[in-house]
Amino acid sequence: MAPSPTILRVVPPVETKTHCPYCAFQCGMLVAEAEGGLLSVRADDDFPVNRGQMCIKGFTSAELITHPERLNTPLLRQPNGELSPVSWDSALDFIAERVLALQKAHGHAALAAFGSGALSNEKAYLLGKFARVALKTPHIDYNGRYCMASAAAGQNRAFGIDRGLPFPVADIAEAQTLLLWGSNCADTMPPIMQWVFEQQNRGGNLIVVDPRATATARSATLHLQLTPGTDLALANGLLYLAIERGLIDQHYIAERTQGFDELRRSVLTSDPAWVERVTGVSIQAQLRALSLLAEVESSMLLSGRGPEQQSKGSDTVLSFINLMLALGKVGKPNSGYGCLTGQGNGQGGREHGQKADQLPGYRSIENAEDRALMAKLWGVAEADLPGKGKSAYELLDSLGPAGGIRGLLVFGSNVAVASPNAGKIKKKLAQLELLVVCDGFENETSAFAHVILPTTQWAEEEGTMTNLEGRVILRQRVQRPPDGVKTDLEVLGELATRLGVGTGFQFQNSEAVFDELRQATAGARADYSGLSYDKIRQAQGVFWPCPSPEHPGTPRLFAERFQFPNGRARFHAVPHRPAAELPDGEYPLFFTTGRYKEHYNSGAQTRRVGALLDAQPVARVQIHPRLAAQLSVSNGDELLVESRRGGVRFTVSISPDIRPDTLFAPFHWGGKHAANLLTNAALDPTSRMPEFKVCAVRARKPGKLD
Ligand code: SF4
């Protein structure tokens, strides 16, 4: 009898449900260990936000986990200036000794911490606690200040609460009119376009406001290609027209808002002819935009960084909210205002205490009751909690003996590339007596570091993130981290012990930190107290506020009331003002910045991924054909772009999609290609957001001596 054939069973790989490490869309993905220690990644069809789609950054995200340049041992700068591998004990002892010495010589405010919108909620929470309780410094802020601060400030002042989108992304598909203001989401978070296309397929209209004819604008029913820095004038002008044409919702204004009379008086000067002169948007286009927004049952205005990253960004957000409130749209189905958060945990990162003025759950560090609650939970005297510290740019501008901050700990942020007027910030970093950088890779900031600590990456740790909708999601661990790296939570715990305050920082795992975060937020505006890892896992994410274990979460806000004691939203009179720096005879062009779909933020990660670098290998300056002819440059030439702060060489890319008076470049590169060497650090007076999106430059072909 012949032997029976061997039956080979192909065992499918075990896939872990987790989320992309990059932007705030936080696409659900399924990750499994594949051959040779690599990870395979595919989009999660079941996750209700991306519904089986991802962008090229997500699909290639696993490449960094096994990247040969990944750090797997601490590095300590030696007297000869070189970085050398050392043990974890040596590195942490060095940091603690220098922190204690700086504190003794110069006081607690001589130290600062800088966090990131890439950190999980647990890390953001523990970093905030570490700064206030272990370093005892007021100075902690994060790179989300460069991203979401204006939208947050505007929403807090108008609605009493800041949640990027007060509704799920699925509502986009149901809006009759969608206005995307200064967001090129077709490039920055491509899977969101499935909701926009669905909206259009149902007969909806799309308006895009952008100085460039972006990939997003090319899909639009109406594109308003305004002059950079004039968004506030245009929004006020649309409100003027709405009042003049009787398109405001008087009943809604009376029932649900306050402050309209003062606002009405303030927009009287924003007549359509003036708006056309200031913004370049014709009266006819203004009328068409207003008609599309106002004469439908449901309309939605979503803003991106274009109008927000200005020295009047928070007022501009308020003008958007004024408009949508006056039209009676906020809190109605498939309608209202929202902002499209940028960084992966840009939402959660601003809720849990790594912002200079905040304690966890959006508590205020200047509110006595909030301070007392947190001091009790953290086991310290309320009087020992420091007050409000400096905002991100102001903190970095204070580095060195003159500014008083002599030691800085940076977690997951590449401030040397991401900050405005970056040349100045690099000089400040060089003056530090202690710079510690916790990251997976060396970058332009760690080039100045005394110590670099190698940390775990997204697939090797767990933690919660809060996506652009306010949905709290769970990143699950896929595999063990390599030998030699630690989680940021472990780093903070071990440093706290060495600084003599270890008891409040010893947690078994990320979930244990989350349990303390839940307690810290109970009863606060961003209330996470009813959440748990299990609940998040089972529900594919839960929207905050979620104040009890039985509570299902809150997908939609404002249907009945706003977050003020009287329940009414607040109008704000916000007259237009020009950008801090406008073109003149010496610097005759506008310069503005943005993203490529292949790269993320400072590019420290994505510039290391082969497919992404192949697709976008260099920083190109987008220039109109007429301007290119004037400057005698062709595609592929080098162009030297100069502002009052520095000069940058870009590769020329000629396109009719940009205005002839404006140059655009991405901010994903460092060194001599860093767009932020040019940008202006003029700050919004409320949000402290720098004016990344508008400055004045001149351009020419570089000469031999340049
Ligand atoms: S970068 Fe954003 S849009 Fe792209 S896959 Fe990741 S989460 Fe999704």
The first and second tokens of residue 185, run together, are: 């989401």
| Residues pairing with 177 in the sheet | 205, 299
Q: What is the pLDDT of the chain when averaged over all its residues?
A: 95
Gap from CA of 14 to ligand 1 centroid (Å): 22
pLDDT tens by residue, 256-312: 999 999 999 999 999 999 999 999 999 999 999 999 999 999 999 999 999 999 999
Bridge partner residues of 408 (DSSP)? 112, 435
What share of the chain in percent tops pLDDT 90?
Answer: 94
What's the pLDDT band for 320 if we cut at 50, 70, 90?
very high
Which residue ranges have their beta carbon within 6 Å of ligand 1?
20, 22-23, 25-27, 50, 54-55, 57-58, 189-191
The SS3 assignment for 47 reads coil
Looking at the CA of residue 190, tell me the nearest atom of ligand 1.
3
Distance 130 CA to ligand 1 centre (A): 30
- Among 22, 29, 44, which residue has the most ligand 1 atoms within 8 Å of its CB, making it the best to mutate? 22
Average pLDDT rounded to a whole number, residues 480-495: 96
Mean pLDDT of 114-131: 97
The pLDDT, as a whole number, for residue 10 is 59
Rounded to whole angstroms, the Cα distance separating 177 from 184 reads 17
Q: Select from 27, 465, 596, 600 the residue to mutate for testing ligand 1; criterion: most ligand atoms less than 8 Å from CB.
A: 27
d(CA 706, CA 681): 25
Q: What is the pLDDT of residues 205-262, one digit of tens each?
A: 999 999 999 999 999 999 999 999 999 999 999 999 999 999 999 999 999 999 999 9
Q: Separation of 117 CA from ligand 1 center, angstroms?
A: 15
The confidence score (pLDDT) of residue 484 equals 95
Residue 367 corresponds to which tokens in the numbers above? 């509110």
What residues are paired with 83 via a beta bridge?
Answer: 77
Confidence check: pLDDT of 4 > 70: no
The per-residue pLDDT for range 603-616, each reduced to its tens digit, is: 889 999 999 999 99
Task: Yes or no: say if 676 and 667 are a contact pair by the CB < 8 Å rule.
Answer: yes
Share of the chain above pLDDT 70, in %: 98
Q: What's the N-to-C CA distance of the chain in angstroms?
A: 86
Nearest to 239 by CA among 326, 336, 329, 335: 326
Give the closest residue (by CA) to ligand 1 atom 4.
55
DSSP letter for each residue of 564-597: STT--EE---------SS---SSS-EEEEEE--T
Probe ligand 1: pick from 44, 50, 55, 469, max atoms within 8 Å of CB?
55
Answer yes or no: is pLDDT of 3 > 90: no
pLDDT digits (tens, 9 = 90+) for 88-100: 999 999 999 999 9
pLDDT at 1 over 50: no
Q: Note whether 479 and 14 are within 8 A (CB).
A: no
C-alpha span between 621 and 701 (Å, rounded): 13
Q: How confident is the model at residue 602 (pLDDT cuts 50, 70, 90)?
A: confident
- C-alpha dist (Å) from residue 591 to 446, 558, 596, 622, 680: 28, 38, 16, 10, 10
Task: Read off the amino acid at residue 287.
Answer: L
- Mutate which of 26, 57, 169 for ligand 1 pocket (most atoms within 8 A of beta carbon): 57
Residue listed under structure tokens 């309608």: 335
321, 3 Cβ separation under 8 angstroms: no
50, 54, 668, best to mutate for ligand 1 pocket (most atoms within 8 Å of CB): 54
Residue nearest to ligand 1 atom 3, measured at CA: 189
Are 293 and 238 in contact, with CB atoms under 8 Å apart?
Answer: yes
Q: Which amino acid would we find at residue 321?
A: I
How many residues are present in the chain?
706
Question: Residue 25 CA: which ligand 1 atom is closest?
Answer: 7
Phi and psi torsions of 260, nearest 5° = -70, -35
What are the phi and psi torsion angles at 434 (to 5°)? -150, 120
Average pLDDT over residues 60-87: 96
Q: Compute the radius of gyration of the chain from its Cα atoms.
A: 25
Q: pLDDT (tens digit, 9 = 90+) per residue, 455-466?
A: 999 999 999 999
Q: Tell how far the Cα of 45 is from the centroid of ligand 1, in angstroms.
A: 14
Asked if residue 229 lies in contact with residue 695, where contact means CB atoms within 8 angstroms, the answer is: no
pLDDT in tens, 656-670: 999 999 999 999 999
Q: How far apart are CA 632 and CA 377, in angstroms?
A: 65
Of the candidates 64, 20, 4, the residue with the CA atom closest to the CA atom of residue 609: 64
Ligand 1 centroid from CA 22, angstroms: 6
The pLDDT value given to residue 22: 95
pLDDT at 417 over 70: yes
Nearest residue by C-alpha to atom 8 in ligand 1 = 27
Work out the pLDDT band at 35, boundaries 50, 70, 90.
confident
- Say whether 135 sits in a helix, a strand or coil: helix
Atom number, ligand 1, closest to the C-alpha of residue 50: 8
State residue 5's pLDDT score.
53
Which DSSP letter does residue 615 get?
Answer: H
Q: Whose CA is nearest to atom 6 of ligand 1?
A: 58
Q: 435 CA distance to ligand 1 centroid (A)?
A: 31
What is the Å distance from ligand 1's center to 586 Cα? 40
Q: Is the pTM of this model over 0.75?
A: yes
pLDDT of 529 > 70? The answer is yes
Residue 141 pLDDT > 80, yes or no? yes
Rounded to an integer, the average pLDDT of 334-340 is 97
Q: What is the pLDDT of residue 9?
A: 58
**How close is the Cα of 52 to the center of ligand 1, in Å?**
11
Q: Is the pLDDT of residue 8 over 60?
A: no
CA distance 318 to 264: 14
